[in-house]
Amino acid sequence: MVHNNVGVIITLLVIAGGLVWLLVRSFRGKEIDRRVIFLFIMVSVAAPLLATITFKFTATPIVEALYDKIEALPEGSTVLLSFDFDPAMAPEVQPMANVVTRHCLEKNIKIVFMCLWATGQGQLEITLDQVLRRDFAHKIDGVDYVNMGYKAGNEGVLNVIVTDFEKMFPTDVNTTPYGDIEILQGVNSCKDMDLIVSFGGGRPGIKEWILFVGDPTGVPSAGGVAAVVAPQLYPYYPRQLMGLLGGIKGAAEYESHFRERHPNHADMDTPAIIMMGPQTIAHIVIIAFIIIGNVLFFMNRRRGARS
């Protein structure tokens, strides 16, 4: 539901007025300059951010599957979260990483963090700052969570950790030896994880996790990816990929679902829900431009047939 009606109405009126004007022009057969399109996109993205338009979302089955899986894990389970993305994907993927990390910590699930992307280490630090160190400061490094850091080697890393985790990660990022890390006692390989979640959108990413780890070991695998990648992962759902957060919409659904069911996190940051405002308005504008483009196309075709 819309929470800021005034902001919505003003934003929609400004954009709708402009679009109607462009539609009228298109009936006269006039093309739209691309700079006008750019201007509309800029307004449709900026205005909802300034007016803070937010919505409440209902989780789709593919998102709810991951939520339910984490919810059903008993306390003390071990979840592997892999940060396989870079700052370019961060606006879409970071909110997913944050909310899933928060959910695991809230459920007292042990987390093993790692990265297959060099830039993932920086993104992981952001999640640790924004979620773990801020709202779960009592969690102990090495006991409740561990940061194994980045390892070069892409699929090669996965091929090794599927049978021997210590071989690839002899220490965590703080050089604590594997054998001295409490959370990893009893964890010999990825087979000992209760759930694997990869956040990314490139290669290596969730697809490689499924092919090299999830499928051969049978460990439930899930992911959070940029919207453009999500359709490519549908063939793996639900047998090989038990849940998927696709783009900012998936992240917003998860945030909304989690906040609703955990009222003690009612005031948590919800970047995905906030970013859905600009995306929603921008989608409406793009749809309007597609309609205007088609009106223009048919008008020109009719004129061509007459002449």
Partner 1 sequence: MKRQIPLALVFVFGLFMIFQYFVPHEKSEWVYEFLLDWILVIGIFALALGIWSLYKVSVDKIRARKENWAYSYVTLFGLFVMILFGFTAPNGESWGLYAVFVTTAILTILMIIQTMVAKSQKGLYLGLAGLFLAASVVIAIFDGAWSFHFYTAEGLQNYWFRAFFDHILIPILSTMFSLLAFFIASAAYRAFRARNLLASLLLISALIVMLRFNPYLQPIMGDYMAKTSNWLMNVPNLAAQRAIVIGIGLGIVATALKVILGIERGYMGKG
Nearer to partner 1, 57 or 258 (CB): 57
User: Which of 23, 45, 68, 269 forms a contact with partner 1 (CB under 8 A)?
Assistant: 45
Distance of alpha carbon 231 from alpha carbon 126, whole angstroms: 27
Of residues 44, 57, 35, the one with CA closest to residue 258: 57
The minimum distance between CB 115 and partner 1, in angstroms, equals 11
249 binds partner 1 (CB under 8 A): yes
User: Which of 23, 43, 284, 299 forms a contact with partner 1 (CB under 8 A)?
Assistant: 284
Q: In what order do the strands lie in the sheet with 221-225?
A: 145-150, 110-115, 78-83, 195-200, 221-225, 243-246
Total of chain residues touching partner 1, rule CB under 8 A: 61
Of residues 46, 130, 91, 79, the one with CA closest to residue 252: 91
**Which whole-number Å values give the CA distances from 131 to 12, 195, 264, 283, in the listed order?**
34, 20, 14, 30
Distance of alpha carbon 297 from alpha carbon 275, whole angstroms: 33
Distance of alpha carbon 225 from alpha carbon 201, whole angstroms: 5
305 binds partner 1 (CB under 8 A): no
User: Which of 14, 69, 77, 91 forms a contact with partner 1 (CB under 8 A)?
Assistant: 91
User: Which of 4, 154, 217, 240 forms a contact with partner 1 (CB under 8 A)?
Assistant: 154
Sign of CA dihedral 91, 96, 102, 105: negative
Distance of alpha carbon 202 from alpha carbon 85, whole angstroms: 7
Strand pairing partners for 82?
Answer: 114, 198
Can you spell out the DSSP letters for 23-75?
Answer: HHHHHTTPPPPHHHHHHHHHHHHHHHHHHT-----PPPHHHHHHHHHHHHSPT
- For residues 147 and 172, the answer to whether their CB atoms sit within 8 Å is yes
The minimum distance between CB 108 and partner 1, in angstroms, equals 25
- Region of 65-73, 80-88, 104-112, 217-225 interacting with partner 1 (CB under 8 A): 80-88
Applying the rule CB under 8 A, the residues between 189 and 248 that interact with partner 1 are: 231-232, 234-235
User: Which of 14, 37, 43, 299 forms a contact with partner 1 (CB under 8 A)?
Assistant: 37
- Region of 69-77, 179-187, 190-198, 287-295 interacting with partner 1 (CB under 8 A): 287-295
Applying the rule CB under 8 A, the residues between 114 and 133 that interact with partner 1 are: 119, 121-122, 125-126
43 binds partner 1 (CB under 8 A): no
Instruction: Give the residues lining the site for partner 1 (CB under 8 A).
Output: 2, 32, 34, 37-38, 40-42, 45, 55-58, 60, 86-91, 119, 121-122, 125-126, 147, 149, 152-154, 156-157, 159-160, 163-164, 167, 173-175, 231-232, 234-235, 249, 276, 279-280, 282-287, 289-290, 292-294, 297-298
